[in-house]
Amino acid sequence: MADTQRPLSPHLGIYKWQVQMATSILHRGTGIALAVGTLLVLWGVFSLAQGEDSYNQFRICIGSPVGLVLMFGWTWALFYHLCNGIRHLVQDSGAGYAIPQFVRTSWLSIIVSILLTVIVWAYVLTSGGAA
């Protein structure tokens, strides 16, 4: 870090909370969480190759209370990163940068990701629960 007395940007203290901040921060946060969650996918595939015992052990672990909470969290993280990722791809084409649109699509990412998470877990619960 530069040793300087001049004011440094960004002046975090003067920003009021905005949804665009939340979507940006969440995109990074969910990205990191999903990278860690990929290890669970690897574990699942390995256990399937390993044999019946390790596969059943894997199922018991993800069906445990802690496992279910993690799975729920990763479901939302995946859908959020997916929805907001599509939003970023659209913005990469140059579209949607007007401030009202930017704010509206931020909310859209959040709401659609929650909706998709609810749909998936409603399916899980109505089809007889997990594990």
Partner 1 sequence: MSAGKDFQHPLKRARGLGSAQSGVSHWWTQRVTAAALVFLSIWFVVIVLSLLHADYASARAVVAKPWNALLLVAFVLTVCWHAVLGLQIVIEDYVHTRWKEVALLVLVKFIAVLGTLATLMAVLRVALGA
Of these, 8, 21, 25, 48, which contacts partner 1 (CB under 8 A)?
48
Site for partner 1 in 56-85 (CB under 8 A): 56, 75, 78, 82, 85
> Does 10 contact partner 1 by CB under 8 A?
no
Site membership for partner 1, residue 3 (CB under 8 A): no
Binding partner 1 by CB under 8 A: which of 5, 9, 126, 127? 127
Using rule CB under 8 A, residue 110 touches partner 1: no
Tokens of 106: 């931020």
- b (16+ CB within 10 A) / e for 89-117: eeeeeeeeeeeeebeebbebbbebbeebb
Whole-number Å distance between alpha carbons of 88 and 99: 15
